[in-house]
C-alpha cells in the first residue's frame, strides 16, 4: 500500500499549507477545538476566516464551481481536510455547507438552489437539523411530528430534541410525517423554514459538561410553504438518507485525534512528578495506554483513507462510513479517559483559571466525550449498519 502523495497531490498540499501560513491566524482560538460564545461558524469573530475561504472557494471545496464551490476532486478534498485538521482549523461551513447544501444540489429545485446556496456560502443563512424526537432517536423513522397539507402550506405540530445549534441558526431543515397511514419509512417529507416563523419556540438543553450546544424545539401550528419542501412529498426519508451520507465519513476527525494526542504527550512531559505520580507508576501503565491510543489513532486514519478510496471510485461510503464513525467516536472516549487518568485527582478540576489539568478541559472533555457515540447515529445503530449492509447478516 502506497499512501504517499502523487506529484499533483503534493503540489496541492503545498498550496494549502501556503494558504494556512497566510490566513490560519484569523481563526479564533486556533486549535483549541469547539466554539465559545461569539465564535460559532456564522459569527462576526469567524468572518475574516470565512471571507478568506470564500475568496479561495474553500468554504465549500466539494461544491461544483457553478454553485460557488471549488469543485475539488476527492483527492484534493482529502488533502485539504487533512491539512486543515493538522492546523487546528476548519471550513466553518456548518450544516449548510456540509449537509443541506449538497442535498439541495441533488434534490432541490432551481428556485431553491438560487434561494439558499449563495447565502449558505457567505454565512448569511445558518442551519439547524431537526431529526431526533423524544420518542424517535435511533429509530428515527418512528418520528411523530406532523405536517398537514393546507392548500399551499403545511401546518406543522410536534417537537424535535438534541437540535444542535438551533439557538444560533436562522433556518432549520427537518423531517415531518405528511402521511400518517403510510409505512413508517414512507409518508415522511423534508421541510425547510425560517426559525423565526410564528409558532416555533426553542428551549436550551445544557449538557453535563455545562455546555449549550443542544436544544429542544417546539412547533405549534407552524405554517410552512409547500415550495419549501425538499424533494417529493412522502419521499423525505430517502432525501434525508442522502443527507446523512455526508455526515459520517472524513479525515478531519481522525487527524484531530492525533493532534489531541500530540498535545497530551507534550503536556505530560512538562508536568511535575507529584502531579502525575499515580499515572507514572513503575509498571508504565499510562505510557502503555498512551501507546494504545496512538496506534488506534493511526487505525482511525486508515479508515478515512478507505472512505477516500471508495469516493475515488465514484461511490458513496455507506457501511464503511459507519465503521469510521463507530471506531473514531469510541476512540474519543478512550482518549478522554486516558487524559483524566494522567492528571489523577487534578483531572477533576473544573476551573478554567487553574493551570492544572488543561484548565479544566480534562474534566469537561471526559464528560463531553459521552455524547460522541450518540450524535450522528449511536454506536448500536452503526453496528447494525455494518452487520446488515457490510456483512450481509439478517436483521434481528
Render each residue's pLDDT in the chain as its tens digit; 396 residues: 667 888 999 999 999 999 999 999 999 867 554 444 434 556 778 888 988 998 888 988 888 888 888 888 878 888 898 898 888 888 788 889 888 998 999 899 999 999 999 999 888 899 999 999 998 887 888 999 999 999 999 999 999 999 999 999 999 999 999 999 999 899 999 999 999 999 999 999 998 888 888 999 999 999 999 999 999 999 999 998 877 655 544 555 677 788 888 888 888 777 776 666 655 555 567 788 889 999 999 999 888 888 878 877 777 788 888 899 899 999 999 999 998 888 888 888 888 888 777 788 889 889 988 888 888 788 998 999 999 999 999 986
> Is pTM beyond 0.75 here?
yes
In a domain, 116, yes or no: no
Name the domain boundary from 233, 266, 281.
233
Judge if 225 and 261 occupy the same domain: no
In a domain, 290, yes or no: yes
Judge if 178 and 304 occupy the same domain: no
Judge if 135 and 25 occupy the same domain: no
Judge if 297 and 257 occupy the same domain: yes
Name the domain boundary from 233, 264, 293.
233
- Tell me which DSSP letter residue 211 carries: -
Judge if 386 and 259 occupy the same domain: yes
Strands 146-150 vs 153-160: parallel, antiparallel or unpaired:
antiparallel
In a domain, 395, yes or no: no
In what helix (H) or strand (E) does residue 349 lie, and over which residues does it extend?
A: none
Number of domains in the chain: 3
The CATH number given to whatever domain includes residue 49 is 1.10.540
Judge if 211 and 295 occupy the same domain: no
| CA–CA distance, 7 with 369 (Å, rounded to integer) | 39
Residue with cell 405528511: 178
**Structural domain for 213, as ranges:** 127-233
The CATH number given to whatever domain includes residue 229 is 2.40.110.10
Judge if 137 and 68 occupy the same domain: no
In a domain, 108, yes or no: no
| CA–CA distance, 223 with 338 (Å, rounded to integer) | 49
C-alpha cell at 198: 410564528
Judge if 284 and 378 occupy the same domain: yes
Q: Considering the candidates 247, 273, 320, 356, report the single residue annotated as catalytic.
A: 247
In a domain, 104, yes or no: no
Judge if 87 and 164 occupy the same domain: no
| CA–CA distance, 29 with 383 (Å, rounded to integer) | 36
The CATH number given to whatever domain includes residue 283 is 1.20.140.10
Judge if 207 and 324 occupy the same domain: no
Name the domain boundary from 201, 233, 265.
233
247 is catalytic: yes
Picking from 53, 80, 82, 81, the residue whose alpha carbon sits closest to that of residue 68 is 53
Amino acid at each position: 500500500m502506497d499512501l504517499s502523495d502523487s506529484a499533483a497531490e503534493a503540489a496541492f498540499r503545498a498550496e494549502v499549507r501556503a494558504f494556512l501560513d497566510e490566513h490560519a491566524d484569523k481563526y479564533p482560538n486556533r486549535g483549541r477545538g469547539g466554539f465559545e460564545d461569539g465564535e460559532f461558524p456564522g459569527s462576526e469573530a469567524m468572518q475574516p476566516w470565512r471571507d478568506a475561504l470564500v475568496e479561495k472557494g474553500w468554504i465549500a471545496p466539494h461544491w461544483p464551481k457553478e454553485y460557488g464551490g471549488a469543485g475539488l476532486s476527492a483527492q484534493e478534498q482529502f488533502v485539504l481536510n487533512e491539512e486543515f485538521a493538522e492546523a487546528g482549523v476548519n471550513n466553518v461551513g456548518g450544516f449548510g455547507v456540509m449537509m443541506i447544501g449538497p442535498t439541495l444540489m441533488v434534490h432541490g429545485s432551481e428556485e431553491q438552489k438560487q434561494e439558499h446556496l449563495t447565502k449558505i456560502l457567505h454565512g448569511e443563512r445558518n442551519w439547524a437539523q431537526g431529526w431526533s424526537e423524544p420518542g424517535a432517536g435511533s429509530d428515527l423513522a418512528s418520528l411523530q411530528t406532523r405536517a398537514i397539507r393546507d392548500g399551499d402550506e403545511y401546518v406543522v405540530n410536534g417537537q424535535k430534541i438534541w437540535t444542535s445549534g438551533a439557538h444560533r441558526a436562522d433556518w432549520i431543515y427537518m423531517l415531518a410525517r405528511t402521511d400518517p397511514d403510510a409505512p413508517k419509512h414512507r409518508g415522511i417529507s423534508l421541510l425547510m423554514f425560517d426559525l423565526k416563523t410564528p409558532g416555533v419556540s426553542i428551549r436550551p438543553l445544557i449538557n453535563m459538561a455545562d455546555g449549550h450546544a443542544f436544544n429542544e424545539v417546539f412547533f405549534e401550528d407552524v405554517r410552512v410553504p409547500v415550495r419549501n419542501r425538499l424533494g417529493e412529498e412522502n419521499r423525505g426519508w430517502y432525501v434525508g438518507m442522502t443527507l446523512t451520507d455526508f455526515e459520517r465519513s472524513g479525515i478531519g476527525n481522525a487527524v484531530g485525534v492525533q493532534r489531541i494526542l500530540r498535545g497530551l504527550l507534550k503536556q505530560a512531559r512538562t508536568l511535575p512528578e507529584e502531579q502525575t505520580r499515580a499515572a507514572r507508576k513503575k509498571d508504565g501503565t499510562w505510557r502503555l495506554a498512551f501507546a494504545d491510543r496512538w496506534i488506534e489513532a493511526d487505525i482511525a486514519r486508515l479508515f478515512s483513507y478507505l472512505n477516500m478510496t471508495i469516493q475515488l471510485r465514484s461511490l458513496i461510503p455507506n457501511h464503511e462510513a459507519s465503521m469510521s464513525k463507530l471506531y473514531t467516536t469510541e476512540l474519543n472516549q478512550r482518549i478522554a479517559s486516558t487524559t483524566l487518568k494522567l492528571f489523577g485527582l487534578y483531572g477533576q478540576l473544573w476551573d478554567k483559571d487553574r493551570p492544572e489539568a488543561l484548565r479544566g478541559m480534562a474534566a469537561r472533555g471526559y464528560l463531553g466525550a459521552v455524547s460522541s457515540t450518540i450524535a450522528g447515529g449511536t454506536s448500536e445503530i452503526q453496528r447494525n449498519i455494518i452487520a446488515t449492509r457490510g456483512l450481509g447478516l439478517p436483521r434481528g
